[in-house]
Amino acid sequence: MFEVNRILKVPPQTEIRNDLRKQVRLYVNENRISPPSNLEILENCAKNILSQSGLNGELLDFTMVLLGNEIWRKTVMATPFHRRLLLLPQCLRNDSQCQGVFDELGLICSGCQGCKIDSILNKAEKLGYTTLVAEGTTVAIGLIEEGAIDAVIGVSCMSVLQRSFEPVTRAAVPAIGIPLLGDGCSNTALDYHWLFAEMENFNGLSEHTPLSVSLLKNQVADYFQPPVLNSFFTSENETEKLALKMMGMGGQRIRPLLAVLAYQAYSGEVSETIQQQLALVIECFHKASLVHDDIEDNEELRYHQPVLHRTDGIPTAINVGDYLIGKGYRMLSKIQLKPAVLAECLAVVAESHVKLSEGQGADILLNAQISEKSADDVLHIFRLKTGEAVKVALLTGAIAGEASQNELNSLRKFSEFFGIAYQIRDDLYEFREENHSGNLFDFPFLLALLQEKMNAVDHEFPGILRENNLPLFRKKIEKFDIENQTERFLQVYVDKCYAELDNLQNQKMRLGLYSVMGKVFKEQKRGQ
């Protein structure tokens, strides 16, 4: 029986540390564990290793750190030095001699050579690393989100490494952690041979080199600047001018980003031209749907500007939307892909176009039929609308990159779960906005959950709908605990997203979508 007396302990003997590292490496290779892995997986694996080795259960947390390192090793080793961050703790400095100063990011080393920090930084900078002497991982995650780095080698005490695991995993940060040999906030010790060996490890294998979602986002944003757009929208007629205006208007460009991410992840040889065309095709369809949605929802503003049907009239707006759909299909048909691949892309786009229209039609009717709809009915609409919009972007890019059918099937399921989770999250965010002045139908999922609860105990729900009584609606939401129930639904679908990502064999795609999930669902922890 394996028993654990958990303490945050690092073996003081170099031989024990090195032997355990070898055992962990062998275990990860034999079991083919892919990153990122959650705490439950790491703990179970660590218990197996320690049990097989006959080692003390006190080393459980240390072994979990080693497992996390080994799982990420191939990715970190494939990352060029200039795309890595070396993160050192301030407690390595010599308190009595340090002449460094602190700024908002951390310690600025003076090079006084009163401690090892100066020599470590010099070695790292010669290799090309970005370096930082600071506590915690917040800055490191921020640098990855900005696209400045792709991987981290961090030195810290066991307690900080433990606390860092959840945010690092959620953001899909490839990381290797080197634990300090003891606790304490100053003049601490470190296995420098271990650190230098990790710093110098590099193999450059392209299949393990991570894709930076942030860098891709910047690249995609450039596709919607005038130099590129003007080369695709060349006509002087008024319809194309308005279509060009819509394509250049703001937004996060999340759909073209997903298409580019999938294409790059699966393509053996990336074509910048094909990638650019895929992004523009997906955005054509998206902008067409926005033009039509704004008319159907009687919107006033889009991107803080008057919507097209307010400035140019409903007939013109309908026509521009139709034009963008046609433009998207025409651009897609001309992409230089293998005929069978192109045919599959066209089939996916057409199928999603049909389903999106079905979802929009159901959404239009929802206001009048909400008292007859269940929460599952609303989730089905979310799946058709937002899920299909995500699906068409991911699948078009993945098919163009010639992904396998197993990968495409997992992306299909992920897209549906993502669309549902995204819409539930939006309902919650809008409900929690202070001074929200909209109406009850701005929160369709909360409304559906409430009517299910109220219909079972009283008959007030029709009155709330008829009067559009937002204050009473909020009171009933609190009374029936609808907000917490909605949170639980959100967590279920976030977990479903992660479960499908773990089925993906393509590491670039899996880690890229983990990064997207971490940005979109920052407040949701991955289920164990």
Phi first, then psi: what are they for 172, rounded to 5°? Answer: 55, 50
Estimate the crossing angle of helix 405-432 against helix 482-501, to 10 degrees. 160
The first and second tokens of residue 512, run together, are 């890229």
What ranges do the domains of the chain cover? 14-205, 211-336, 359-528
2: helix, strand or coil: coil
Radius of gyration of the chain (CA): 26
3 state DSSP class of 135? coil
Whole-structure pTM over 0.85, yes or no?
yes
Q: Does domain 211-336 have CATH number 1.10.600.10?
A: yes
Here the contacts of 48-51 (C-beta below 8 Å, separation 24 or greater) are: 49/20, 49/23, 49/24, 50/2, 51/2
Backbone angles phi, psi at 178, to 5 degrees: -110, 110
Per the DSSP assignment, residues forming a β-bridge with 179 are 156
Convert 440-498 into a string of H (helix), E (strand) and C (coil): HHHCHHHHHHHHHHHHCCCCCHHHHHHHCCHHHHHHHHHHCCHHHHHHHHHHHHHHHHH
Amino acid sitting at position 214: S
Q: Are 207 and 507 in contact (CB under 8 A)?
A: yes
Q: Do the domains 211-336 and 359-528 sit in the same CATH topology, yes or no?
A: yes
* Widest Cα–Cα separation across the chain: 78
pLDDT tens across the length of the chain (528 residues): 345 555 668 888 999 999 999 999 999 999 988 898 888 889 999 999 999 888 777 899 999 999 999 999 999 999 999 999 999 887 777 666 766 666 666 666 666 766 688 889 999 999 999 998 877 667 777 777 777 888 999 998 888 888 788 888 877 889 999 999 876 666 578 899 999 999 999 998 888 888 989 889 999 999 999 999 999 999 889 999 999 999 999 888 999 999 999 999 999 889 999 999 999 999 999 999 999 999 998 899 998 899 999 999 999 999 999 999 999 999 999 999 999 999 999 999 999 999 999 999 999 888 788 878 899 999 999 999 999 999 999 999 999 999 999 999 999 999 999 999 999 999 999 898 876 666 788 889 999 999 888 876 666 666 677 777 788 888 889 989 999 999 999 999 999 999 999 999 999 999 999 999 988 998 766 654
Q: For the stretch 468-480, what's the b/e string if a residue is b when 16 or more beta carbons lie within 10 angstroms of its beta carbon?
A: ebbeebbebbeeb
What span, in angstroms and rounded, lies between the C-alpha atoms of 251 and 228?
A: 17
* pLDDT 10s digits, 205-258: 888 888 989 889 999 999 999 999 999 999 889 999 999 999 999 888 999 999
Q: Identify the CATH assignment for 359-528 out of 3.30.9.90, 1.10.600.10, 3.40.50.300, 2.60.40.10.
A: 1.10.600.10
Q: Could you report the per-residue pLDDT of 32-90, keeping only the tens digit for each? A: 888 988 888 899 999 999 998 887 778 999 999 999 999 999 999 999 999 999 998 87
Helices (H), 297-338: 308-312, 314-333
Beta strands at 175-179 and 151-156: parallel, antiparallel or unpaired:
parallel
